[in-house]
Amino acid sequence: MLVKRVCRITVIGGALALLAGCAASGGVEEEAVGGYFARDLPGMPADPRMSPVDNPILEARGLHNPPPTVIRRALLAQHERWAGTPYRLGGSSFRGIDCSALVQNVFSDTFRFDLPRTTEEQVRAGLEVERDALRPGDLVFFRPPGAYRHVGIYVGEGRFLHASTSRGVMISELDNRYWQRHFWQARRTLEPTLLVRRLGETGEG
């Protein structure tokens, strides 16, 4: 009788321990899930919420990748934010934006770095770099026909982010015949390591 009672107590105790373990793990899981969806993709509307793992800006702040990779991912996230925004001379919002305003917005939002507003002023920022030495985050300038100059941000692998007059915000190839013909110069406003440091300084808010 005593043996049966001890066995029954042991079984009940084990069951309670298992239930307590499930409740504890469930609480941890709920907390983890809550944290997983607790942050927004920078610049996006309130939804969809993304995990820090899926968010390139937040991943960039972890500094786990080489600086060019970190910057490239952050710039591609900005492309997703602005893609399809129409071109509008003098514009600086999602209703319409011009090339220099896009560059200014991206640098301010991503790197907390204030660039001048116009292409004419931006082309005097930083130091000139050779085209074959471009790194993600460098500014690329063009002199197409007409009165206006054009600027974009190099994202790596021969591509740059810009506000096209015909197609709005997009990513284009430097080796495209048109852009190759009208390439003017490139400028490096900050070294990649400093851009990454600024990503880290922005915090998560």
User: Which positions are annotated as active-site residues?
Assistant: 99, 150, 162
Report the run of H or E that residue 82 belongs to, with start and end. helix 67-82
* 42, 49, 70, 82, 173 from 45: Cα distances, Å: 9, 9, 23, 12, 29
Beta bridge partner(s), residue 95: none
Radius of gyration of the chain (CA): 25
Torsion of CA 78, 194, 142, 179, to 10 degrees: -60
109, 101 contact by CB (below 8 A)? no
Q: What are phi and psi of 87, to 5 degrees?
A: -80, 135
* Residue 172 three-state SS: strand
Residues 67/195, Cβ–Cβ less than 8 Å: yes
3-state class (DSSP) for residue 193: helix
For 91, phi and psi rounded to 5 degrees? -80, 155
